[in-house]
Chains A and B, each alone.
Chain A
């Protein structure tokens, strides 16, 4: 799975958009970009994933550049409860392979949302 690079920490004001960048310059054509977050030692929580198109769900939006070498997770209206460590992971999502379920976590970005 491709390596990712994220900033160590970021701050965001409550109610503003939080934009979390991720660099994955060695991503392969069959690798997806996944985002998870972990709130204060709880189990990681899935947020969103994408291949090459931008994606949106009830939690966030994912913007992937055209060359797929980087992406941005957007929390449109951050709240205090969004304070967490955010992990960007790229991996193959293919049934049958031995690694399809494995998630390789980096250090992530510590997002602090302040009042």
Chain B
């Protein structure tokens, strides 16, 4: 089954304690990205990767790091989490353009992070 898997689904942590949220996809997609979702602000892109070893900032990258050492994995790293990073996080992947322009994105089930 085609899927994007995020772990953990729920996480409560303390300010300053480094954490990693993992994301893995089994569809051999080139493009992967991370979004955060906050009430009233919608979904906003944090970082994206167009392929292995190619990453770039999205709209709200401050306080986050990513890496893309393998095609299937795209972990999100919070080196020193702060309470304003409390949010619902989604990983997504998609392939390059299909013949009809379709670049359907597949999303993970989300990680609800609370930083206290």
Flag if B110 contacts A93 (CB, 8 Å): no
Q: A68 within 8 Å of B by Cβ?
A: no
Judge whether B109 and A107 touch: CB under 8 Å: no
CB distance from A30 to the nearest CB of B (A): 9
Measured in the bound complex, the distance between the Cα atoms of B63 and A79 in whole Å is: 41
Is B64 part of the binding interface, using a Cβ–Cβ cutoff of 8 Å?
Answer: no
Partner of A105, one of B43, B48, B50: B43
Chain B residues bordering chain A, tally (CB within 8 A): 31
Q: Which of A51, A100, A105 contacts B97 (CB 8 A)?
A: A100
> Which residues on A sit within 8 Å (CB–CB) of B56?
98
What is the bound-complex CA distance between A100 and B88, given in angstroms? 23
Tell me whether chain B's interface is mostly helix, strand or loop, or mixed: strand
Closest A residue to B110 using CB positions: A43
Question: Would you call B33 an interface residue if the criterion is a C-beta within 8 Å of the partner chain's C-beta atoms?
Answer: yes
B4 CB contacts on chain A under 8 angstroms: 43
Partner of A42, one of B35, B58, B110: B110
Q: Interface of B with A (CB < 8 Å)?
A: 4, 31, 33, 35, 37, 42-45, 48, 50, 56, 58, 88, 90, 92, 94, 96-97, 100-110, 112
Sort A-B residue pairs by CB-CB distance and give the 4 closest, nearest first: A43-B107, A101-B31, A93-B101, A105-B43
15 A-B Cβ contacts within 8 A?
A32-B101, A41-B88, A41-B112, A46-B106, A49-B101, A94-B101, A98-B50, A100-B103, A102-B33, A102-B45, A102-B58, A103-B45, A105-B35, A105-B42, A105-B43
